[in-house]
């Protein structure tokens, strides 16, 4: 909301003129050019018909009132900007306003208030964003950036810098027609900050617990013609991590520009991100009573070597987006990117031997480099007539990736029980002389390509969409000269019926295809993992300020590859299904209250397995029920400013380990925020898990010992932002 104020002075007669944008209740944003005349000292203000009476004009400075908005447009389900009401699937959009309001600083934070999503099923980690949708893991193939895949390895799960993200888009269910191979769970699209045709900027500083410090800058500029504009986003931060003697430093910068011609638009989007971790970068673990170390070591115990353990990750790349309007009905789109990832990792692990009262330790050394090239081009044909429209996409995409891993082991001395009991922070037990065990280096290449088509037909109140894709996947490894080729057809179909402008029920079906270079004990290639999804839902959108979606779903995943313990081969366990119900809503009820909430019930279970005892089991770390509620209310208004209080709760239901023998009880976590904004300034305090509830997010078998992954501890962040 922006206002300009003018005061006309006419011999003791004053006219107050307001111009600007306003949002009122549930009304759409309206551009008003309103002239309000106020006569002081009597008489009417004749500002229009009597210019001779106007002696002078005083223009007061422009001031800004920041208001949170809902986003209705996404590319994740169609590859082109589409209102979510026209997408026959469950879609959630988390824009920058909501991320600021909730204090979102990583991808886990962005996902945790949304229906059907389990965040951090393997614990809260500084580097990796493990999550699941509707009971199934979000694989590396299910995270895309600006509608394009990047890496096909876990490097893609490495925490992206959320300050460089404009919008997070979540599509539940498979999307293989548009994006190729992937899990049945869903797709997360990270829309980076693009240049805009306007001038603005912001500077931000942040302080938090665990000695967190951050500075950030976001500047956008455009030329006088409005055809060339650029944006610079940069950030530096440092913080201590979960374990003792661990620290993370991050630097991020993304300069970008956009050039427009009469029928063409080109955006160039480079970035650079550097993460440097000293100490243990592994997932934070919390010891259970069944762990021999339960009463010996604290959870934060660092078993490594302070000047050796590290995790250095460098990511950089460049991409472009090209849009050319061939004619009034036909548009050509092309998206391409190149990304490079380099990792140097020294990480110490250990396992306790109760019989000898020793902690045996070893270090894994990995140097990895990955390159990824991708391109996607498609033609969009749109025709529209009265009560009738159709939209067709024809496209071809391809992605090539090359990875080199150099690995070795470092054997370390064993800590005795007395060493552990007398542990002094910062003074780890001295090591024996190094013993390095080289391991086989690994090089592998993967190549994925596909041709696809989508067609959407809308007539009166009915919209029907369908899509098909032929995908090809190749992978080669120089370890034993293994290579394989696989291909698959995937398809989708959707139906939307507009009962009226408020209610839109929909139906959706889609299947998925996920190859992997895994072999059975006879060296036969395993069949690719496949999946299917059926979804029936309804949306309620009485106005742009309210979004509510309810959906029922059925997901099935077949031919799931799992490693056979103490061997170098895999087996296929059969089928896992997940049925459930989701309800999710967001609403700006008035100019003082913003609410969001979600409820999820699902019943994931193993329906086919090579081990009959596993049939009917619930997947590890997945809760059948979850509830999320959040409200932000303006509790005080001041001249050019306001005070906002936010409160939220996240309830995670009962979870189990893989064998369903160990149970993790339900937990409710509370979040809060307090924000004061005035003119261009904003001071905000965010806190998560304000009561510092200790809980276990999941339990896994680690070297024969049931190990719990720690849930998020209490975090708080104080930030100051200046906008212009």
Written as one string, the DSSP assignment of 61-101 is EEEE--------EESTTTSS-EEGGG-SS-EEEEEHHHHHH
pLDDT digits (tens, 9 = 90+) for 478-489: 766 677 888 999
Q: What CA–CA distance (Å, rounded) separates 488 from 470?
A: 6
Q: Is 249 exposed, middle or buried (0-12, 13-18, 19+ CB in 10 A)?
A: middle
d(CA 23, CA 4): 16
Say how far apart CA 584 and CA 603 lie, in whole Å.
18
pLDDT at 17: 35
Alpha-carbon gap, residue 101 to 109, rounded angstroms: 12
Contact 453, 468 (CB under 8 A): yes
What whole-number distance in Å separates Cα of residue 688 and Cα of residue 102? Answer: 10
Measured CA angle at 165 (ends 669, 370), to 5 deg: 105
Question: 534 - beta bridge partners?
Answer: 509, 554
pLDDT for position 657: 85
Cα atoms in the 13 Å half-sphere on the side-chain side of 167: 19
Q: What is the DSSP letter of 283?
A: P
Nearest Cα residue to 652 out of 635, 670, 638: 670
C-alpha closest to that of 171 among 162, 181, 184: 184
Query: For residue 636, how many other CB atoms are within 10 A of its CB?
Result: 11
- Residue 152 CA to residue 139 CA, distance in Å, equals 9
Tokens of 265: 């638009």
Residue 335 is encoded by which pair of tokens?
């998206």
Contact indicator for 255, 231 with CB cutoff of 8 Å: yes
The CB density around residue 56, as the number of other CB atoms within 10 Å, is 8
DSSP type of residue 154: G
Q: Dump pLDDT digits (tens) for 236-288.
A: 999 998 877 888 999 999 999 999 999 999 999 999 999 998 887 666 677 77
Q: Provide DSSP, 326-344.
A: -SSSEEEEEEEEEEEEEEE
Q: Are 204 and 233 in contact (CB under 8 A)?
A: no
> Can you spell out the DSSP letters for 362-428?
EEEEEEEEEEEEEEEEEEEEEEEETTEEEEEEEEEEEEEEEEEEEEEEEE-PPEEHHHHHT-BTTBP
The CA-atom distances, in angstroms, between 686 and each of 66, 67, 522 are: 18, 18, 55
Which residue, chain included where needed, has tokens 């059948």?
624
DSSP state of 112: T
Q: What are the residue ranges of helices labelled H in 248-322?
A: none
The helix or strand, by DSSP H or E, that contains position 176, with its residue range, turns out to be: helix 176-179
Tokens of residue 189, six digits? 């699209």
Angle, vertex CA 157, rays to CA 98 and CA 231, nearest 5 = 50
Per residue in 392-416, is it b (16+ CB within 10 Å) or e — as a string?
bbebebbbbbebebbbeebebbbbe
What would the two tokens of residue 529 be? 């993992």
Report pLDDT for 357.
Answer: 80
* d(C-alpha 533, C-alpha 573), whole Å: 19
Q: Please report the DSSP string for 13-69 in residue order.
A: EEEEEEEEEE--TTPPPEEE-------SSSS---TTT-GGG--EEEEEEEEE-----
- Identify any residues that bridge with 677 across adjacent strands, giving them in sequence order: 642, 682
Tally: H helices and E strands in the chain: 4, 46
CA–CA separation, 468 vs 488, rounded Å?
Answer: 11
Please write the tens of the pLDDT for every residue from 396-425. 999 999 988 888 888 877 777 777 766 655
**CA-to-CA distance for 368 and 407, rounded, in angstroms?**
8
Name residues of the chain where pLDDT drops below 70: 1-69, 121-127, 152-158, 281-284, 421-434, 479-481, 702-704
Q: What is the pLDDT of residues 526-580, one digit of tens each?
A: 888 899 999 999 999 998 899 999 999 999 999 888 877 777 788 888 899 999 9
User: Measuring CA to CA, how many Å separate 289 from each of 86, 295, 415?
Assistant: 52, 8, 21
Closest CA to 33 of 2, 64, 69: 2
Distance from C-alpha of 609 to C-alpha of 574, rounded to nearest angstrom? 5
């Amino acid at each position: 909301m922006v206002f300009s104020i003018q005061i006309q002075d006419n011999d003791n007669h004053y006219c107050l003129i307001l111009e600007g944008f306003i949002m009122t209740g549930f009304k759409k944003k309206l551009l008003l050019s309103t002239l309000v005349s106020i006569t002081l000292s009597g008489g009417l203000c004749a500002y229009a018909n009597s210019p001779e009476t106007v002696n002078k004009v005083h223009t007061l400075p422009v001031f800004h009132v920041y208001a949170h908005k809902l986003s209705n447009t996404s590319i994740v389900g169609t590859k082109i900007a589409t209102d979510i009401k026209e997408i026959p699937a469950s879609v959630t959009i988390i824009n920058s306003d909501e991320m600021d309001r909730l204090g979102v600083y990583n991808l886990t934070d962005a996902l945790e208030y949304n229906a059907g999503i389990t965040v951090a099923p393997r614990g809260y980690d500084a580097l990796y964003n493990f999550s699941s949708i509707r009971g199934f893991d979000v694989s590396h193939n299910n995270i895309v950036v600006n509608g394009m895949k990047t890496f096909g390895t876990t490097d893609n799960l490495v925490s992206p810098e959320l300050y460089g993200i404009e919008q997070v888009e979540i599509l539940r269910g498979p999307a293989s027609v548009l994006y190729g191979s992937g899990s049945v769970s869903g797709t997360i699209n990270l829309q980076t900050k693009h240049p805009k045709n306007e001038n603005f900027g912001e500077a931000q500083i942040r302080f938090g617990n665990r000695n967190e410090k951050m500075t950030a800058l976001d500047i956008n500029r455009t030329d006088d013609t409005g055809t060339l504009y650029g944006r610079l986003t940069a950030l530096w931060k440092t913080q201590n991590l979960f374990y003792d003697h661990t620290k993370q430093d991050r630097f991020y910068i993304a300069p970008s520009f956009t050039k427009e011609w009469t029928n063409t638009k080109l955006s160039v989007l480079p970035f650079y991100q550097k993460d440097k971790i000293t100490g243990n970068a592994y997932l934070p673990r919390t010891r259970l009573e069944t762990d021999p170390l339960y009463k010996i070591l604290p959870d934060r115990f660092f078993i490594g070597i302070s000047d050796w353990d590290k995790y250095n990750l460098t990511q950089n790349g460049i991409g472009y987006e090209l849009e050319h309007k061939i004619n009034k009905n036909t548009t050509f789109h092309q998206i391409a990117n190149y990304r490079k990832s380099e990792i140097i990792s020294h990480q110490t692990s250990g396992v306790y031997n109760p019989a000898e009262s020793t902690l045996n330790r070893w270090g894994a050394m990995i140097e990895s480099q990955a390159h990824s090239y991708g391109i996607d081009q498609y033609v969009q044909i749109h025709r529209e007539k009265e009560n009738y429209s159709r939209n067709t996409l024809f496209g071809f995409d391809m992605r090539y990736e090359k990875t080199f891993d150099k690995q070795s082991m470092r054997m370390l001395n064993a800590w005795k029980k007395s060493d552990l009991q007398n542990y002094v922070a910062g003074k780890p037990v001295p090591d024996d002389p190094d013993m390095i065990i080289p391991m086989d280096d690994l090089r592998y290449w993967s190549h994925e390509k596909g041709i696809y088509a989508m067609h959407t037909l809308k007539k009166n109140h009915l919209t029907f969409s369908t899509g098909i894709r032929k995908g090809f996947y190749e992978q080669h490894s120089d370890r034993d000269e293994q290579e394989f080729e696989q291909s698959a057809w995937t398809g989708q179909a959707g139906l939307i019926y507009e009962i009226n402008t408020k209610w839109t029920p929909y139906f959706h079906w889609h299947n998925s295809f996920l190859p992997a270079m895994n072999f059975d004990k006879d060296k036969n290639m395993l069949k690719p993992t496949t999946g299917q999804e059926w979804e029936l839902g309804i949306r309620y959108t009485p106005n742009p300020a309210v979004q509510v979606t309810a959906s029922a779903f059925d997901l099935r995943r077949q031919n799931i590859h799992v490693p056979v313990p103490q061997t170098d081969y895999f087996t296929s366990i059969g089928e896992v299904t997940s049925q459930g119900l989701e309800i999710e809503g967001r609403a700006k009820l008035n100019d003082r209250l913003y609410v969001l909430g979600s409820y999820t019930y699902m019943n994931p279970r193993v329906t086919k397995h090579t081990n009959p005892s596993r049939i009917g089991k619930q997947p590890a770390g997945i809760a059948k029920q979850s509830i999320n509620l959040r409200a932000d209310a303006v509790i005080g208004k001041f001249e050019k400013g306001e005070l906002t209080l936010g409160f939220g709760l996240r309830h995670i239901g009962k979870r189990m380990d893989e064998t369903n023998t160990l149970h993790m009880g339900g937990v409710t976590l509370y979040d809060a925020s307090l924000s004061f904004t005035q003119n261009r300034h904003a001071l905000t305090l965010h806190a998560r898990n304000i009561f510092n509830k200790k809980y276990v997010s999941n339990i896994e078998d680690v070297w024969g010992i049931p190990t719990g992954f720690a849930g998020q501890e209490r975090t708080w962040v104080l930030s100051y932002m200046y906008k212009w």
